[in-house]
Amino acid sequence: MGKTTLAALLAHLYAVEGRTVLAIDADPDANLGSALGFSAEELARIQPIAEMKDLIAERTGVQPGQSGGMFTLNPRVDDIPERFAGVRGGVRLLILGTIKQGGGGCFCPESALLRNLVRHLLVGRQEVVILDMEAGLEHLGRSTAAAVDAFVVVVEPGRRSIQTAQSVEQLAADIGISRVLVVGNKVRGPEDEQFIASSLGGMEVLGCLPYTERAVEADLTGQAIYDAAPELVEAARAIRCRLEAGLADRP
Ligand SMILES: Nc1ncnc2c1ncn2[C@@H]1O[C@H](COP(=O)(O)OP(=O)(O)O)[C@@H](O)[C@H]1O
Ligand SMILES: [Mg+2]
């Protein structure tokens, strides 16, 4: 749909400005690294946090895969970004990985560690934090949601995508995020923009990324999206301006 593409573009824009950027891949099907141009070898060195059994056990007091019993709900996480992130093009990348047992909402030590990590990154730190999530919001709880500056949903011109955006808006509302912003992607012309703007009910559209073969190409070759598709960088720049302007005049 374009979530990972947009996340990589925004991370790049902040990084080239000299901001400290932490990009977090929270999709179980992790591919933000490849959109950021990390090579297969570089990615192989970034271990997903959910797979670090010893770390999880050390921090929570319980081996991953075990549930029931007692484990620490507020494990130490502040050193994790420095220790486990990879860096490329000024962007630091952290991969959360998949919780295998019990699904996303599971009450287990690995889920406690990931949730606490995401909360720490969003609440407790000064850098630009960009979280690339699948359509569910499993790592966000109410206390974390309050620290989210902007919640952006990516849609393609098409009814199914609009429906997904609406259900994500509902999930966001459930954890206290009332302002959901939309970015259109794979837009081929004014009719597509019109379709998106008119289908979304009350959601605010920040802008659109054009459809470009260069994005498809970049995905095939593993090139960073921001190197492969300058037109997307330009479009993302406009989107970021709208985003920042919206944040500035928010009550
Ligand atoms: N603007 C675009 N034009 C053409 N192809 C795109 C565009 N944005 C994304 N794609 C392609 O669509 C696929 C999914 O994009 P991705 O950003 O990974 O979506 P998501 O993270 O929402 O699953 C990728 O192959 C990507 O290259
Ligand atoms: Mg993705």
What residue owns the CA closest to ligand 1's atom 18? 4
Ligand 1 pocket, residue 134 CB under 6 Å:
no
Per-residue pLDDT at 133: 92
User: Mutation test of ligand 1: which of 4, 5, 226 has the most ligand atoms closer than 8 Å to its C-beta?
Assistant: 5
| pLDDT score recorded for residue 105 | 57
**Ligand 1: does its nearest atom lie under 6 Å from the Cβ of 96?**
no
Spacing, Cα 62 to ligand 2 middle (Å): 30
CA of 215 to the centre of ligand 1 (A): 7
For residues 187 and 230, what is the distance between their CA atoms, to the nearest angstrom? 16
Rounded to whole angstroms, how far apart are CA atoms 110 and 143? 18
Tell whether ligand 1 has an atom less than 6 A from the beta carbon of residue 2.
Answer: yes
Q: What is the DSSP letter of 136?
A: S
Helix (H, G, I), strand (E, B) or coil at 140: coil
For residues 48-86, b (16+ Cβ closer than 10 Å) or e, as one string?
bbbbbeebbbebbebebeeeeeebeeebebeebbeebbb
**From first to last of its 251 residues, what are the pLDDT tens digits of the chain?**
999 999 999 999 999 999 999 999 999 889 999 999 999 999 999 999 999 999 999 999 988 877 667 888 889 999 999 999 999 999 999 999 988 765 455 678 888 899 899 999 988 788 999 999 987 787 888 888 888 999 999 999 999 999 999 999 999 999 999 889 999 999 999 999 999 999 998 899 999 999 999 999 999 999 999 999 999 999 999 999 999 998 887 65
Nearest-CA residue for atom 11 of ligand 1: 216
Query: pLDDT value at position 131?
Result: 95
Quickly count: other Cβ atoms within 10 Å of residue 243's Cβ.
19
Q: Does residue 168 have its Cβ closer than 6 Å to ligand 1?
A: no
Does this model's pTM top 0.85? My answer is yes
Q: Which atom of ligand 1 is nearest to the CA of 187?
A: 1
| Ligand with smallest separation from the Cα of 5 | 1
Beta bridge partners of 21: 91, 128
Domains, the chain, in order of start with CATH, read: 3-149+212-242 (3.40.50.300)
Report the residue among 130, 216, 217 best suited for mutation to probe ligand 1: largest number of ligand atoms under 8 A from its CB. Answer: 216
In 3D space, the residue among 17, 85, 30, 33 whose CA is nearest the CA of residue 240 turns out to be 17
Atom 3 in ligand 1: which residue has the minimum CA distance?
211
Three-state DSSP class for 151?
strand
- Could you tell me which residues come within 8 angstroms of residue 45 by beta carbon, excluding any fewer than 6 positions away? 86
How many Å from the N-terminal Cα to the C-terminal Cα in the chain?
A: 31
| pLDDT in the model for residue 138 | 79
* Secondary structure element (H or E) that encloses residue 15, with its range: helix 3-16
Regarding the beta carbon of 157 and ligand 1, being less than 6 Å apart is answered no
